[in-house]
Amino acid sequence: MPTHAPAFADVTASDSTLRRFLHGLPGVDAVGLEARAAALGTRSIKTTAKAYAIDLAISMIDLTTLEGADTPGKVRALAAKAVHPDPTDRTTPSTAAVCIYPDMAAIAKEALKGSGVKVASVATAFPAGRAALDVKLADVRDAVAAGADEIDMVIDRGAFLSGRYLKVYEEIRAVKEAAGAARLKVIFETGELSTYDNIRRASWIGMIAGADFIKTSTGKVAVNATPANTLLMLEAVRDFREQTGVQVGVKPAGGIRTSKDAIKFLVLVNETVGEDWLDNHWFRFGASSLLNDLLLQRQKLATGRYSGPDYVTVD
């Protein structure tokens, strides 16, 4: 099992050594972080760069439906939209993945066969993560057996917030092993972690434990992805690669609904970690409604006018 842990064997030897390492990370300058995120968000993007950014953003979307009312028909329709977001323009890139609950993974896999679009499945008692470890691991194994290429897990926020960092680390390691060849995205639910210092610590726990991606949110709480918390996580993956040579992806999720928002996040990526992350293997958007606005803006750039509201499907 590929893991990033060997380089941190001493750090993860006990709760006390891991706590010492995490609390020894540089403190986050909240004012400076938010000011930099805001400043980068004001960058002007010209027409040619905007067209490129829109297509790049489309290719980075994990097109998501995570509702109790999801049906096989809805998942098949979403898969069709992921493969050909704009059926009238086959130059439109496919999205990166379709993200669904584990019981829909087999349906998504069949619908996406041969397309190159990945099946991403949430697991580990998403979104609360309140279940015994054996239940969480069974959830992961079921999703992978059904064809999931990627697993989006949630950390135990209760354990993290009560300082039981080793429990969080060991759970991520166990999920990584259960996921096998599937890539693992570790969700922190940043809106529940209270402080930027906690987000930095969670990022390092996830990366040390073998996360392929670190992800902001489930999209199920009031505060989801923000430019500031995503910037902080981008800085963490940059620093981790400098220290270890291992590259880890980043996925902001929840609340990113417009092309303008998406482009701001791409500027953050470009200015913080650079071109190595400007690819859907390393950066994703967790979104359901974002794709529609990107398609409308793409059509506007191509024709000079906005399409009517019936141009895109209602998800």
Q: Which residues are catalytic?
A: 152, 215, 251
Q: Which residue has the tokens 């010209």?
A: 46
Q: Is cis: bond before 127, omega within 30 of 0?
A: yes
Neighbours of 145 (CB within 10 A): 12
Return the DSSP state at 281.
Answer: T
CB 148 within 8 A of CB 120: yes
CB 175 within 8 A of CB 153: yes
Assign residue 175 a region: left if phi > 0, alpha if psi is -120 to 50, beta otherwise?
Answer: alpha
> What b/e readout covers 90-128, taking b as 16+ CB neighbours within 10 angstroms?
eebbbbbbbbbbbebbbbbbebbeeeebbbbbbbbbbbe
For residue 234, count CB atoms less than 10 angstroms from its CB and return exposed for 0-12, middle for 13-18, buried for 19 or more: buried
How many CA atoms, within 13 angstroms, populate the side-chain half-sphere of residue 145? 8
Cα separation, 123 vs 134, in Å, equals 12
Residue type (1 letter), 270: N
CB 287 within 8 A of CB 62: yes
Cross-strand pairs, 152: 122, 185
- Strand 150-154's sheet: what is its strand order? 249-251, 213-215, 183-187, 150-154, 118-122, 97-100, 61-64, 285-287
Q: What are phi and psi of 287, to 5 degrees?
A: -155, 155
> Quick one: how far is CA 165 from the chain centroid?
22
